[in-house]
Chains A and B, each alone.
Chain A
């Protein structure tokens, strides 16, 4: 429902795209008494139908709350009967009836565990003939959850005229921001370039936040969008503060990612005319512990809210939920485009039981027919072994950028160790780096972190047990031996020779 403050001036709040959709709605209602109004969440469906009701001088709008109240009597009896009666009563008292969010009834009726599966068809056909016989008008509103029209498996879609609210254009951004703030203080075109998928509600919310903060410059507004408006499924505050430049020994990877992914995702006036698009399929591959996930963390930091993650945490879900969650994440990503989708351990994920469907789904996402929005999502995959990625994915050529992470060189290992031990007591930091370089040849970032942790633990034990403190090199040698032993065990286990 629109806020009361705007009720009197609500007809002024329609942006050009909304205005066009409203005219189509009016025409459609005049052409045929059964109309379906489709638009994404926050596109302003309620505003349009309220205005329709006002212009027609009356009508009733039912939302999900009222539908729920009418159909829940606490027992497992049929819900269609009371709902039909409620809708017929509502139609008797009104010439125009609007039922909002029909997708919720659609979802229930289409659910395979619903005892009366498909009953919405019966219900709507009854209501439709009632509307036609009684000379009334019925408008349904719907937020589509997929590309398929209302009740994809029945013929209801054929009996109703559809009006779709188009996505907002730059001029709609300008209009809505001006409307909320009163004057042109936010540069709409640069905001549109940064976040072309914002809805009406999000824009109005953004304008209010900006007014509240008193800062309207492009940078502050973008920060607001990234931190307060758009959704993402990673919590930036839980990600270690890491920038690409902090990653030791990743110079070539940082360079390639900046050139082919981060720059094209940025909207910078200096390169605006080039029409840059990020590489869609980027593969980070290398042995475990070589920093693939760290690169992901640094990218998440750099992308603020525009980072979406699919990792092993969603794999244990049953197939139905698994796909539902993947789809949900991708829908969010599409609405936040340009953005980044990071698929950690893609080789493992794609080898799981859901593999065939998952792979095909990604092929379509990475280079399918509908590429205008999807093309602004950079998809980064990590894999220990690229040879374990599904052949179809490899063959398709949709992995465009191959970036190998390698065990760090001696200099990088020394730097890592230095940063890990920076907070240790002085006596522990007096170790011989040259000696350690030799001992840690072939160690990865995780191994180096483990050395530092073991050194601390060994040192702490001596302190606690009141033993004499050994020279720093001794602790480091012992810790390094531990890691060597662990690596050997791992090697044997992988070769299946561990008894």
Chain B
């Protein structure tokens, strides 16, 4: 890969006075550059060189020293390479930089001059997409006057090359490397180097250990799994059809199973879980999070409370990391509420772009799952676009499902509780959702505890259930009234 990139770099330098060499962390840009300046009479500069000449300068005066530094180097050399230019670009084209993009003016003049002299300038960058500043395509200087050479992202062979270089040729079997690649196909060479270190010191080389290391040490997610209630997809009562659909259209396609390796399965791009509140949408998310571990990214209301300036960068962060961690899931909880805001227009447009982008990326196996109480509150453009490919409705549990849930929640109750025929409460709780059933059992426990703590003899379990059912019905009634007031008041 480096060979190809090197040839391309040489060709680009033949045509253009300015070349941008892009490659992810650890992809060997410096190696290429060292080889290049050995062949041509050239020199390397880094942000470090800039910092040593900008010492004592005011905060906002990095652009002058930058242009002067490059100019001086070009006076003495035919080729000047400025490395890690993306980090400087983040500052110089940043929203708070007082002389926003001022550097580009100086560079234009400089480029005009060196064109006539036949000299060349190269910038290297590893991560434009991660900076908060605009991406390469939006930097006029580079798009108008520069050529772009990219070092390809590693494939399975490249994984093997990096891991074997660090661990020895015999360390990992090639089918194991293939499985590592399928589990996390978006690692860059830098991360492969970190992974090799973890494998070396971990003392184990089996794929299970390596996958765990990837999920725990290398992956970067924003969800604290220990804060997420442990639920298995199989435990979700009354959700059998949803679990079946999710398994077929999301979970299986995200898996790398040799039995269907040739099928090139892709997950559904957009999945919508919709249904009345309390019918278990978030529970599906919890179960999925435990299944996907480091490959689950959550966008919920906590993002919305951040100031607008970080809101988008956090949303972007999630999508970017999800792509890097692919195959992965982005879970947007309460999407209908999230979209109903001042920032909504921007967000839905962004999401549309993301959903399209996820499709076009060859290895990008990212499934976006949205939950909504009311799909009508989702942006029409999002629904119309057809990017939400799978619609799954969560509904109220029927009597059997209610009985099953009650039984599950009562299973761990203390023996002093006595026995209770759950079918009785199941029959009485017509119209209750999953959250109500859970609440019902907790209320019964609370009523029992109240009597115990007040030194009263506990009543029968049946009578606790009856009064708790009454209370929940009353709360639902009050809710309806409040909603009605709201409607009546035209709010």
Q: Which residues does A use to contact B, with CB under 8 Å?
A: 27-28, 30-32, 76-82, 84-85, 112-119, 121-122, 125-126, 147-149, 152-155, 157-159, 161-162, 166-167, 258-260, 263-264, 266, 268, 270-271, 273-277, 319-320, 323, 326-327, 356-365, 367-374, 385-389, 391-392, 394-402
- Total contacts A-B at CB 8 Å: 295
B463 at the interface (CB under 8 A from A): no
Could you mark each residue 282-307 of chain B with 1 if its beta carbon is under 8 Å from any beta carbon of chain A, else 0?
A: 10011001000000001011101111
With A274-B449, A369-B285: A126-B224 Cβ-Cβ less than 8 Å: no
Partner of B439, one of A117, A153, A362, A400: A400
Chain B contact residues: helix, strand, loop or mixed: helix
Q: List 5 additional contacts besides A323-B307, A387-B489; criterion CB under 8 Å.
A: A82-B55, A148-B317, A153-B316, A161-B197, A396-B334
Q: Taking the nearest CB of chain A, how far is it from the CB of B479, in angstroms?
A: 6
How far, in whole Å, are A358 and B341 apart by their CA atoms in the complex?
A: 11
Asked if B448 contacts A274 (CB within 8 A), the reply is yes
* B439 contact set on A, CB distance < 8 A: 400
Asked if B191 contacts A158 (CB within 8 A), the reply is yes
Asked if B453 contacts A371 (CB within 8 A), the reply is no
* B483 contact set on A, CB distance < 8 A: 387, 391, 394-395
Partner of A391, one of B289, B314, B486: B486
Asked if A259 contacts B450 (CB within 8 A), the reply is yes
Asked if A276 contacts B95 (CB within 8 A), the reply is no
Partner of A397, one of B197, B314, B342, B433: B433
How far, in whole Å, are A78 and B50 apart by their CA atoms in the complex?
A: 12
Asked if B277 contacts A395 (CB within 8 A), the reply is yes
B162 at the interface (CB under 8 A from A): no
Asked if A153 contacts B313 (CB within 8 A), the reply is yes
B447 at the interface (CB under 8 A from A): yes
With A122-B90, A368-B300: A154-B130 Cβ-Cβ less than 8 Å: yes
Q: List 6 A-B contacts (CB under 8 A).
A: A31-B201, A153-B132, A360-B301, A371-B227, A392-B340, A394-B479
Closest to B307 in A: A320
B228 at the interface (CB under 8 A from A): yes
Asked if B200 contacts A31 (CB within 8 A), the reply is yes
B309 at the interface (CB under 8 A from A): yes
Q: Which residues does B use to contact A, with CB under 8 Å?
A: 25, 46-48, 51-52, 54-60, 62, 84, 87-88, 90-91, 94-98, 126-127, 130-133, 188, 190-191, 193-194, 197-198, 200-202, 217-218, 220, 222-224, 226-229, 277-278, 282, 285-286, 289, 298, 300-302, 304-307, 309, 313-314, 316-317, 324, 331, 333-334, 337-338, 340-342, 373-374, 412-414, 433, 435-436, 439, 442-443, 445-450, 452-453, 474-475, 478-479, 482-483, 485-486, 489, 491
* B450 contact set on A, CB distance < 8 A: 258-259, 263
Closest to B417 in A: A274
With A122-B87, A373-B227, A385-B485: A154-B340 Cβ-Cβ less than 8 Å: no
* B56 contact set on A, CB distance < 8 A: 77-78, 81
How far, in whole Å, are A147 and B221 apart by their CA atoms in the complex?
A: 8
* B449 contact set on A, CB distance < 8 A: 259, 263-264, 268, 270-271, 274, 276
With A30-B201, A273-B414: A368-B302 Cβ-Cβ less than 8 Å: yes
* B475 contact set on A, CB distance < 8 A: 399-402
How far, in whole Å, are A367 and B190 apart by their CA atoms in the complex?
A: 38
Closest to A157 in B: B220
Closest to B455 in A: A270
How far, in whole Å, are A152 and B44 apart by their CA atoms in the complex?
A: 29
Q: Taking the nearest CB of chain A, how far is it from the CB of B70, in angstroms?
A: 16
How far, in whole Å, are A411 and B447 apart by their CA atoms in the complex?
A: 29
Q: Taking the nearest CB of chain B, how far is it from the CB of A392, in angstroms?
A: 5
Closest to B449 in A: A271
Asked if A357 contacts B317 (CB within 8 A), the reply is no
Asked if A363 contacts B337 (CB within 8 A), the reply is yes
How far, in whole Å, are A115 and B306 apart by their CA atoms in the complex?
A: 21
* B96 contact set on A, CB distance < 8 A: 112-117
Q: Taking the nearest CB of chain A, how far is it from the CB of B130, in angstroms?
A: 4
How far, in whole Å, are A395 and B202 apart by their CA atoms in the complex?
A: 50
With A78-B57, A152-B314, A401-B475: A117-B222 Cβ-Cβ less than 8 Å: no
Asked if A149 contacts B51 (CB within 8 A), the reply is no
Q: Taking the nearest CB of chain A, how far is it from the CB of B304, in angstroms?
A: 4
Q: Taking the nearest CB of chain A, how far is it from the CB of B338, in angstroms?
A: 6
* A401 contact set on B, CB distance < 8 A: 475
Q: Taking the nearest CB of chain B, how far is it from the CB of A383, in angstroms?
A: 9
* A358 contact set on B, CB distance < 8 A: 305
Asked if A147 contacts B222 (CB within 8 A), the reply is yes
* A326 contact set on B, CB distance < 8 A: 305
With A369-B223, A372-B229, A394-B486: A360-B201 Cβ-Cβ less than 8 Å: no
Q: Taking the nearest CB of chain A, how far is it from the CB of B412, in angstroms?
A: 7
Asked if A81 contacts B52 (CB within 8 A), the reply is yes
Q: Taking the nearest CB of chain A, how far is it from the CB of B15, in angstroms?
A: 30
How far, in whole Å, are A141 and B434 apart by their CA atoms in the complex?
A: 43
* A273 contact set on B, CB distance < 8 A: 413-414
Asked if A275 contacts B412 (CB within 8 A), the reply is yes
With A118-B131, A276-B445, A401-B475: A31-B227 Cβ-Cβ less than 8 Å: no
Partner of B478, one of A113, A258, A402: A402
Closest to B91 in A: A116
Q: Taking the nearest CB of chain A, how far is it from the CB of B245, in angstroms?
A: 20
How far, in whole Å, are A149 and B321 apart by their CA atoms in the complex?
A: 11
Q: Taking the nearest CB of chain A, how far is it from the CB of B464, in angstroms?
A: 11
Asked if B305 contacts A327 (CB within 8 A), the reply is yes
Closest to B48 in A: A126
Asked if B88 contacts A122 (CB within 8 A), the reply is yes
Asked if A389 contacts B91 (CB within 8 A), the reply is no
Asked if A116 contacts B485 (CB within 8 A), the reply is no
With A364-B302, A369-B228, A402-B475: A81-B131 Cβ-Cβ less than 8 Å: no
Closest to B46 in A: A126
Asked if B58 contacts A78 (CB within 8 A), the reply is yes
Asked if B47 contacts A356 (CB within 8 A), the reply is no
* B342 contact set on A, CB distance < 8 A: 356
How far, in whole Å, are A162 and B294 apart by their CA atoms in the complex?
A: 13
Asked if A78 contacts B223 (CB within 8 A), the reply is no
Give the top 6 A-B pairs by smallest Cβ distance, nearest first.
Answer: A387-B485, A360-B301, A31-B197, A122-B87, A364-B301, A361-B305
Asked if A118 contacts B91 (CB within 8 A), the reply is yes
Partner of A152, one of B285, B317, B374: B317
Asked if B282 contacts A369 (CB within 8 A), the reply is yes
Partner of A117, one of B95, B302, B448, B491: B95
Q: Taking the nearest CB of chain A, how far is it from the CB of B229, in angstroms?
A: 6
* A148 contact set on B, CB distance < 8 A: 222, 314, 317
* A82 contact set on B, CB distance < 8 A: 55
How far, in whole Å, are A468 and B414 apart by their CA atoms in the complex?
A: 71
Asked if B482 contacts A387 (CB within 8 A), the reply is yes
* A154 contact set on B, CB distance < 8 A: 90, 127, 130-131
Closest to B409 in A: A275
* A391 contact set on B, CB distance < 8 A: 483, 486, 491
Q: Taking the nearest CB of chain B, how far is it from the CB of A274, in angstroms?
A: 5
Partner of B304, one of A116, A157, A356: A356
Q: Taking the nearest CB of chain B, how far is it from the CB of A370, in angstroms?
A: 4
* A31 contact set on B, CB distance < 8 A: 194, 197-198, 200-202
Closest to A152 in B: B317
Asked if B491 contacts A274 (CB within 8 A), the reply is no
With A78-B59, A152-B313, A399-B479: A387-B95 Cβ-Cβ less than 8 Å: no
With A391-B486, A391-B491: A84-B51 Cβ-Cβ less than 8 Å: yes
* B309 contact set on A, CB distance < 8 A: 112
Asked if B305 contacts A155 (CB within 8 A), the reply is no
Asked if B478 contacts A386 (CB within 8 A), the reply is yes
* A153 contact set on B, CB distance < 8 A: 130-132, 313, 316-317
Partner of B301, one of A361, A372, A400: A361
Q: Taking the nearest CB of chain A, how far is it from the CB of B178, in angstroms?
A: 23
Asked if A81 contacts B54 (CB within 8 A), the reply is yes
With A117-B96, A360-B338, A372-B229: A78-B201 Cβ-Cβ less than 8 Å: no
How far, in whole Å, are A358 and B479 apart by their CA atoms in the complex?
A: 21
